[in-house]
Structure formats: structure tokens, C-alpha cells
Amino acid sequence: MASVLAESRQSIKHGIRGLLDLGAAATGLLQWHERRARSGLTILMYHRVLPAEACTDYPLASLVMPVDAFAQQVAWLARRCRVRPVAEALVELHCPAGDPRPLVAITFDDGYADNFEHAAPILEAAGLRATFFVATGFVETGAPFWFDRAADAWSRLTEQDRAGLFEEVAPGAELTPGLASWMSALKRLPVAERDRGVAAAMERAPGAFPNEQYAPMTPAQVAELAGRGHEIASHGIDHPILPLVDDDELKRELTESRARLAKWTGREITGFCFPNGDSDPRVAAATAGAGYAYGCSTEEGINEPSGDPFRLRRRPVSMQRVFGPTGRHSILGFRAEVTGQRERWR
Ligand SMILES: [Zn+2]
């Protein structure tokens, strides 16, 4: 019952959002936002591009984009924007080019195999290059991230089991016991405790974790992307929340991942993306000290030339955000997200 109510609330929300998008396009508000975006750099944040059937029941809709929808977005971007990898875009941001189209960078976090298999061919067919933020530990071990294990287990549990798990990590919390609030409670726990919580969920969930659906790229694929002109950048080794780790661990995450990627690609690595977007002045200073030229956050917004290169803002793009009320991809919804038109009334 609760899930039926949640679903109808969701579709009402999508319906209202779709109407507001139409209104914004008809009144010129969308176009005003698009013109405004020309003064800065818009960095889009993707995670995974998968065949539509794999997206339908994907536990974290905020991390996926179906192949066809991604192809439509790329076609739109290739026509309407100057698309560059982040490192190149930052140079152009400071030396305006003759091309008046808005400056956009496309980024992918984590290093999943589908980035190589599905996203890169679509980008290349349109003549575009992107930035791939790779967690080197994920690529080397293939061990799935805790958030994938957690979300996958949650999707296989009964509502009663879910409520029990939620109570364990957030006793007495006045939150809706949904996946998002359970995950954010888990995220704040010390690593060992968090992993125990995830293991308990996996134990209770019927069926097995589908390892193959969460596979990383291989080092050879990472190197191939670099060889084809994409930017390879670091997302650390093990995806920890960096403000919570000590100085030695922070240094190891920054320097060893950078060295590993340089070895695989034969290129200097200048970009970093903070896992979960979490950073602070100590983390930012260590990132600059480790030889990086910029750091991406998950803070939403556009980057003006005067902005902090170690606090780059992005715009998350996912199925959850850009699909319309009918469950279809909406390029108008994509434009509204990309320009930040929806930011004020989210
Ligand atoms: Zn990540």
C-alpha cells in the first residue's frame, strides 16, 4: 500500500514537473536560463548508461540513464554546446573562444564497465569526448561498492525487513524508512559498522547479488578511453568519504590512484572527483598538493571563471530527473536540468 501511494505521489510530481517545463519553454524562461549558462562552465554528472530493460528496476534510479535517452541527450549537446573534457573546458573557461555556444563537460563517476561499452561509443559517434572519474580499487578488485550492495539487497527485501534494517541504523528517527534515508544513515556510520549493516541486509535478502551487473572497466579499457581522447581522472582508490579519513589515508587515496591511472594510460592525471562529493578545506588542500589541477564536487550549479577549481559544481543527470510523467525520456526535462531552471523549485 505504502509503495502504491509513493508511486502515485511520484507520478503526480512528475506530471507537475512536466507542466512547469512546458510553461518555462513557452514563456522563454528556459531560453533565459540557457543564455545565462553561457557565462560559465556546466559540468554534467552521469554514473551509468545501460540498456532500457536494465534501468527499469535499477535500485538507484539516480545513477542510471538508458542508452537511447543518453543518445538523444548527446545529439542535443553536440548540436547546441561546446563539449570538452573538464581539464580542457577549464582552460577555455578562462580564454573565451570564438564559438558562442555554452561550454559543457560530460563526466562519469566510479568506472563502471558500461561507460566503456555503452557511453563511449555514443559520445564518439557524435564526435564528443568526456571525463571519466575512475576509482582504481574498484577497477583492480571488481569488488562492488557498498552502496550498490546495499541498494541491491534493499530492492530484494520485504517491507517488514526494510523497516527492521532502518530501525537498526536510525533508531526512532522520524524519517520515511525509504532506501534514500537508509543509505544516508548508513553513509554516516563508521566503515566497519556500515559494512555490517550492508552485510545484514544482504544476508536477509533472498537471491544473490548480481556481480556481473556491477562490473567495473578493466585497466585496458581505461587506457583505451584515454587513447581515444577522453580524459581519465581520479575518483580515489576505495571511494571513502575523504573528510573522515586521516592524513595518511587521504594522501594514499590521492597519490596512489593518480599514479595507477598514469601508469595505465601513460598520461598525466590532473583531475579529481571527491567520492560522494564530500570535501573540506583540508581535503581540497591535499588534493592540490598531490598534483591535481581541479576537484569536482556534487554541489549543484554552474562554474564561473572566478570560481574555486577545487570546488567545481556539477549538474546530476539521471533517469530519475529527466523522465517525464509517462515514464518517457523528455529532452525538455533534460534541458531544464542542464540549465538549472528546475533548481529553484525542486
Ligand atoms: Zn562515486
Mean pLDDT per 10-residue segment, the chain (346 residues): 52 69 70 73 97 90 94 96 97 85 96 98 98 98 94 91 80 74 87 91 91 96 98 96 95 98 98 96 98 96 95 93 77 85 60
Q: Are residues 96 and 159 in the same domain?
A: no
Q: Which domain holds residue 222?
A: 2-142+215-345
How many whole angstroms from 60 Cα to the centroid of ligand 1?
A: 13
Q: Are residues 127 and 27 in the same domain?
A: yes
pLDDT on residue 190? 85
Q: Are residues 127 and 9 in the same domain?
A: yes
209: in domain: no
Domain-terminating residue out of 204, 233, 249: 204
Q: Are residues 192 and 280 in the same domain?
A: no
Q: Are residues 105 and 158 in the same domain?
A: no
Sign (positive/negative) of CA torsion 32, 33, 36, 37? negative
Of the candidates 195, 208, 269, the one whose C-alpha atom is nearest the C-alpha of residue 238 is 195
Q: Which amino acid is at 123?
A: L
Strand pairing class (103-110; 82-83):
parallel
How many whole angstroms from 61 Cα to the centroid of ligand 1?
A: 15
For 190, other C-beta atoms within 10 Å of its C-beta total: 9
How many whole angstroms from 234 Cα to the centroid of ligand 1?
A: 10
Q: Are residues 154 and 130 in the same domain?
A: no
Task: Enumerate residues 6+ apart whose C-beta is below 8 A from 22.
Answer: 332
Domain-terminating residue out of 156, 173, 204: 204
How many whole angstroms from 110 Cα to the centroid of ligand 1?
A: 5
How many whole angstroms from 19 Cα to the centroid of ligand 1?
A: 32
Q: Are residues 160 and 59 in the same domain?
A: no
Q: Are residues 138 and 158 in the same domain?
A: no
- With 0.85 as the threshold, say if the pTM is over it: yes
Q: Domain containing 229 — which CATH number?
A: 3.20.20.370
Q: Are residues 289 and 274 in the same domain?
A: yes
Q: Are residues 94 and 190 in the same domain?
A: no
pLDDT on residue 162? 87
Tally the domains of the chain: 2
How many whole angstroms from 329 Cα to the centroid of ligand 1?
A: 24
How many whole angstroms from 302 Cα to the centroid of ligand 1?
A: 20
80: in domain: yes
How many whole angstroms from 121 Cα to the centroid of ligand 1?
A: 22
**Residue 199 class from Cβ within 10 Å (0-12 exposed, 13-18 middle, 19+ buried)?**
middle
pLDDT on residue 10? 61
Q: Are residues 118 and 197 in the same domain?
A: no
Cα 215–Cα 290–Cα 187 angle in degrees, nearest 5: 45
Q: Which amino acid is at 253?
A: E
pLDDT on residue 174? 64
Q: Are residues 160 and 64 in the same domain?
A: no
How many whole angstroms from 200 Cα to the centroid of ligand 1?
A: 23
Of the candidates 201, 203, 208, the one whose C-alpha atom is nearest the C-alpha of residue 186 is 201
Instruction: Assess contact for 325 and 22: CB atoms under 8 A.
Output: no
